[in-house]
Amino acid sequence: MSALVIESTTMLFAILRAAEDAEFDPNTVTPGVIGFIATFLVAAAVVFIAIDMNRRVRRTRYRSEIREKLAAEQAEQAEQKPDASA
């Protein structure tokens, strides 16, 4: 096992040394059009998900408010029924 560790460490240092010596053209390492399109699609997906989440939260809040109003009306009607019969 120690031979495997030594060999992998040696290969890692060789790769790092080669990377330091190599010069690169900044134009060849840019994401290009594909990177722009991918970034745009991710940003658009985030916006659509945020809008959908906001819509769902608002709908849930309105439903709970209506349930509370209906429960209050039913409780009020239940209180008034015994008074009307008396």
User: For residue 30, is it left (φ>0), alpha (ψ between -120 and 50) or beta?
Assistant: beta
Rounded to whole angstroms, the Cα distance separating 28 from 8 reads 29
Residue 23 CA to residue 8 CA, distance in Å, equals: 24
User: Looking at residue 39, what is its pLDDT?
Assistant: 96
Q: Which residues contact 38 (CB under 8 A, 6 or more apart)?
A: 31
Domain hosting 14: range is: 2-85
| Structural domain total, the chain | 1
pLDDT of residue 12: 85
Alpha carbon 27 to chain centroid distance?
32
Residues (pLDDT < 70) of the chain are 1, 20-22, 24, 26, 83-86
Q: How far apart are CA 24 and CA 27, in angstroms?
A: 9
- Tell me what pLDDT residue 3 has: 83
